Amino acid sequence: MADSVGYSDTPVIPGGTWRVHDGDRPQPRVVTPGGDAGGPPSDAVVLFDGSDLDQWTGRDGGAAAWKVENGYMEVNGSGDISTRAHFGDCQLHLEWATPEEVAGDSQGRGNSGVFLLGLYEIQVLDSFNNRTYADGSAASIYGQYPPLVNASRGPGQWQSYDIVFEAPSWDGDRLVKGTHLTVLHNGIVAHHRQEAVGPTGHRDLANYDSPHAVTGPVQLQDHGNPVRYRNIWIRRLTAYDES
Ligand code: MG
């Protein structure tokens, strides 16, 4: 049943007719991705090269405690992790894999996520033959926009995100420019300079009414599923100060 994966009591997303997490919203078209790519370019800040979590902090700013082995890190229930460095406009590359052994369904299957500024989530999920609400599928701007297509590889396979993030800007309390996201999933365009409605929410819509910092950490979500990450690098697109 379509409504078994979503909600019908949530707000309508502006500019359309779909509700947040609408169970009836059409599923993204499935596209099979091509080959591999993605080594760090010379000007990248390498956030994870497979060896350690020195660039990351865990819950409450303590040491990041995800498992590191065989060139990848793995979610282990110790909480979200965040980069020590902060970034504004940036290009981010990372690779991820959901568990080879499939468990759970909908939002409970291989759920993690990549948060830019610690606020805007690009969903990580096993979306290979796993129906969920479209705006919560892999490569969605969570709760706002499904990916243009479903470019998912199967469970256990390495997948890539290449994300171009443009931070919002305000003049006082007046929004000058909203957050814009371009996302490639396995090399396939999932979002083309899509403007976010606001920071990510769950069963609700955020907005830009409260200005927030225009730099922040990259945050990876611990949603209780043992999702793996490797080869994470980032390039600053403007000369924001680190903090
Ligand atoms: Mg998530």
Instruction: Give tens-digit pLDDT for 157-209.
Output: 999 999 999 999 999 999 999 999 999 999 999 999 999 999 999 999 889 99
Residue with tokens 């892999």: 138
Structure confidence by residue, pLDDT tens digits, 96-115:
999 999 999 999 999 999 99
Q: Choose between 212 and 43: higher pLDDT.
A: 212
Give me the residues near ligand 1 (ion), CB cutoff below 5 Å: 111, 113, 123, 221
pLDDT for the residue 4 = 79
**What is the CA angle 61-88-116, rounded to 5?**
60
CA 148 – CA 144 distance, rounded (Å): 12
* Weakest-pLDDT range from 1-5, 73-77, 82-86, 204-208: 1-5
Answering whether pTM is above 0.75, one says yes
- Distance (angstroms) between ligand 1 centre and the Cα of 125 equals 7
- Distance (angstroms) between ligand 1 centre and the Cα of 69 equals 23
Mode of pairing for the β-strands spanning 112-116 and 219-220 = antiparallel
pLDDT at 141 over 90: yes
- Distance (angstroms) between ligand 1 centre and the Cα of 241 equals 28
Are the C-beta atoms of residues 112 and 119 closer than 8 Å to each other? no
pLDDT for the residue 133 = 98
The residue type found at 109 is R
